[in-house]
C-alpha cells in the first residue's frame, strides 16, 4: 500500500506526523528529516526551494501517494510553484494554521511566530487577510527557537529570556491568538504560554493539516482500511540524535532511523 510522505528540516515535522498517526491510524508514513541542513529559516528563498524539491524527489522514490510539507519555512517560500512541479497532491502547513487562527480569535488580533524566512515571506499575513480583511497580524521572527528544540533546550532562564524578547511585540499588540508558525515550536509551548499568558490561544496547525490530508485521500478513494500501519524514518544526519528527540514529539521511541547520504 502507498504511504503518506512527510518532510521537515529536522524533527519538528514529527508534530504533524503524530497527528497523522492519530487521525489516520491505518496509513503508512515515510518521514524525512533534513537534519544535515537544519535550520531552513536562515537560508535564502532559492535554497529552501531547492531543498524542498530534493526532499520531495526523495519521498517519491518511496512511491508515496501524498506529500505533506511539515515545515513552515518550506511551505512559505512558494508552495504553489512547488506543486506545479509534481502530480502527487502536496499539502503545506500555512493555510490550515491561518484558518484555525481566524476561527479562534475574538479580538481579530493575531500573532505569528516563525523563522526569519517565514516571517519575511508574509505568507501567514496574506492567508489571514484573505480569510478576514479586518484581522490585524503581528508577526515576529524567533530564529533561536529551532536550535533550542534541536538541542533539547526546552526551558530554563536563557530560553525564557529569549522568549520574552521575541514575544514582546505580540504582548504589546494585545493578541489573543498566536500561531506557532514552525513545527518545532509546540515543544516550547510551556515557555510561550508563560510569556504570553494563559488566555492567549496557541494555534498548532498539525491537527488541521491532518484533517486536510484525510479529506484529500478520502476524495481520491485512497484511504486505507483496517490494517497494521508501518512507519519509516529517514534523516540526512545524526540518526541517534533524531531518535532521542523523536520520543519527545511522538511519545514513544523511534526505532531503525536510517541515514541517507544524499537526497
Active site residues: 71, 182
> Rounded to whole angstroms, what are the CA distances from 48 to 15, 20, 52, 53?
20, 24, 6, 9
Burial-class residue 7 by CB neighbours within 10 Å (0-12, 13-18, 19+): buried
Q: 66-69 and 4-8 as β-strands: parallel, antiparallel, unpaired? A: parallel
The alpha helices in 184-223, defined as continuous H runs, are: 189-196, 206-219
Q: With contact defined as beta carbons under 8 Å apart, do 33 and 13 qualify?
A: yes
Strands 90-91 and 29-33: unpaired
**Cis amide bond preceding 80, omega within 30:** no
Q: How far is CA 203 from the centre of its chain?
A: 12
CB 39 within 8 A of CB 50: no
Backbone phi, then psi, for 109, in 5-degree steps?
-115, 105
Over the range 42-68, which residues count as b (16 or more CB within 10 Å of their CB) and which as e? Answer: ebeeeebbebbbbbbebbeeeebbbbb
User: How many residues in the chain?
Assistant: 263
Amino acid at each position: 500500500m502507498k504511504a503518506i510522505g512527510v518532510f521537515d528540516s529536522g524533527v519538528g515535522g514529527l508534530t504533524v506526523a503524530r497527528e497523522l498517526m492519530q487521525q489516520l491510524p491505518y496509513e503508512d508514513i515515510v518521514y524525512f528529516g533534513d537534519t544535515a541542513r537544519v535550520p531552513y529559516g536562515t537560508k535564502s528563498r532559492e535554497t529552501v526551494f531547492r531543498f524542498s524539491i530534493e526532499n520531495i524527489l526523495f519521498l517519491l522514490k518511496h512511491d508515496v501517494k501524498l506529500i505533506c510539507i511539515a515545515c513552515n519555512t518550506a511551505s512559505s517560500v512558494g508552495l504553489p510553484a512547488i506543486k506545479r512541479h509534481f502530480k502527487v497532491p502536496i499539502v503545506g502547513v500555512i493555510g490550515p494554521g491561518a484558518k484555525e487562527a481566524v476561527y479562534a480569535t475574538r479580538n481579530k488580533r493575531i500573532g505569528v511566530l516563525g523563522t526569519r524566512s517565514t516571517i519575511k515571506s508574509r505568507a501567514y499575513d496574506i492567508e489571514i487577510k484573505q480569510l478576514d480583511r479586518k484581522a490585524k497580524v503581528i508577526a515576529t521572527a524567533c530564529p533561536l527557537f529551532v536550535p533550542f528544540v534541536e538541542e533539547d533546550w526546552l526551558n530554563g532562564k536563557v530560553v525564557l529570556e529569549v522568549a520574552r524578547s521575541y514575544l514582546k511585540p505580540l504582548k504589546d499588540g494585545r493578541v489573543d491568538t498566536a500561531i506557532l508558525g514552525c513545527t518545532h515550536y509546540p515543544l516550547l509551548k510551556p515557555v510561550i504560554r508563560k510569556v504570553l499568558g494563559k488566555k492567549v490561544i496557541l494555534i498548532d496547525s498539525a491537527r488541521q493539516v491532518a484533517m486536510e490530508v484525510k479529506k484529500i485521500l478520502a476524495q481520491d478513494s485512497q484511504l486505507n482500511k483496517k490494517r497494521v500501519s508501518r512507519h519509516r524514518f529517514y534523516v540526512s544526519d545524526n540518526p541517534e540524535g533524531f531518535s532521542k528527540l523523536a520520543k519527545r514529539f511522538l511519545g514513544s521511541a523511534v526505532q531503525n532511523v536510517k541515514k541517507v547520504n544524499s537526497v
